[in-house]
Homo-oligomer: A and B are copies of this chain.
Amino acid sequence: MEQDFWKMREPFGVLADSRETAARVVELLVRRKQTVSLAESCTGGMTAAALVSVPGASQVFENSFVTYSDRAKNRILGVDWEVLQKYTAVSAQTAAWMARGCREAGEADLALSVTGLAGPGGGTARRPVGLVYIGCSYGERTVVQEYHFQGGREEVRSQAAAAALMLGLGCLRTDE
Interface residues of A (CB under 8 A from B): 38, 40, 42-49, 51-53, 55, 57-58, 61-69, 71-72, 75-76, 107, 120-121, 153-154, 157
Contact = CB atoms under 8 A, between A and B. Distances in A.
Most buried by B among A46, A68, A76, A107: A68
Given A44-B49, A45-B40, A62 B68 contact: yes
The copy count of this chain in the complex is 2
A157 B54 CA distance: 12
A86 to B, nearest CB: 21
A61 B51 contact: no
Given A58-B68, A58-B69, A69-B58, A52 B63 contact: no
9 nearest CB pairs, A to B: A45-B45, A44-B52, A45-B48, A63-B72, A64-B66, A62-B69, A45-B49, A46-B49, A62-B72
A63 B71 CA distance: 9
